[in-house]
Amino acid sequence: MDRESCGMNGRGGHNSVSESVSLPSLRIITLVDLESFTEDEDLDPDSFGDNADLDGQNEVMEQEDQDRLLNFWQDVGRGHAIDIPQDMAQPIQQLTTDMENTPVREKVPFTLVTHEKCDNVPYEKRVYQRAFWACVTMQNDTYEQSICAGFMKLMRYICQHNTLGSYLGMTVPIVTVVRTDETRTALSRAVTVAYHLPCHHQHQPPIPADPDITIETWPVTVAYARSFSGPTSESSILREINAFSEVLDPLEVSVSDSFIVAGYTSLAATHRHNEVWFLERL
């Protein structure tokens, strides 16, 4: 990303819990069934029901799964005055399935420079390399509304709304770039939500179908990172920024007026793992 874009250089820019379904008419092949066959015997598909019926039942199960997950996210969203539209059902299910099948997420790579502790507050100094990020800037009434709206746009991009027409894969963290006033008592309404392209897409990032999403090159960046837990809101973000500044200011670390909030868990998760990053001024 160039120096005028929204990324880590600190400058402004634009651009689950699923329930099982019981279907009495669907016979499940158990281990006992499999052990009862000899190597010379063939499985008779007719003995397990009509394939068309199975396909139809699988479609019903998939739709019910989508509806359940969507309802869960909508319930969470209503608690924060956020509307989760119906067309998010498929992306939500895709990401949920991916998280279940691939519990270890690809992390944004960095080089750890040092792990420090000041006044019993641990933090890390890291170097992030030049990389492609998909970015979208939102400006809603609240911070939570902005990050949710931005993340939903990115979810659609990740889940097939791209020139490849395929699922791109999730990386963590999803980050938001925020800016404060000079006294660090208020956040700017404009919030940039960003997704690091997986390593196998870094050489040629798929283009988003949504014109609000831009692919940007973020430069090599030095970041100071401190972990915190719980939901992220304007008040909690400002609290974390000011607490971390009390640690770094005496060390005379020169940081920009932009900060990054990194989220490692779903916005709908009960226990959320986050970080706040201070970006070293270049």
Query: What pLDDT digit, counting tens, does each position of 145-155 carry?
Result: 898 889 889 98
Q: What is the pLDDT of residue 2?
A: 39
Residues 61-78 as b/e (b if ≥16 CB within 10 A, e otherwise) read eeeebbebbbebbbebbe
Quick: pLDDT tens for 97-141. Answer: 776 666 678 999 999 999 998 778 899 999 999 999 999 999 988
* Residue 19: DSSP 8-state: -
Nearest by Cα to 262 from 236, 225, 233: 225
pLDDT surpasses 80 at 281:
yes
Per-residue pLDDT at 230? 86
pLDDT tens-digit readout, 156-191: 999 889 999 999 998 999 999 999 988 889 999 999
Range 247-253, long-range pairs (CB < 8 A, 24+ positions): 247/118, 247/119, 247/121, 247/123, 248/123, 248/224, 248/278, 250/118, 251/118, 253/224, 253/278, 253/280
55-59, 143-147, 252-256: least confident range: 55-59
Please give the pLDDT value at position 269: 64
Q: Mean pLDDT in the chain?
A: 77
Condensed to tens digits (0 to 9), the pLDDT of residues 200-254 reads 999 999 999 999 999 999 999 999 999 999 888 899 999 999 999 999 888 888 8
Torsion over CA of 89, 95, 96 and 99, rounded to 10 degrees?
180
pTM of the model: 0.72
Of 266, 41, 109, 99, whose CA–CA distance to 174 is shortest? 266
Residue 48 confidence (pLDDT) above 50? no
Residue 256: count of CB within 10 angstroms of its CB = 16
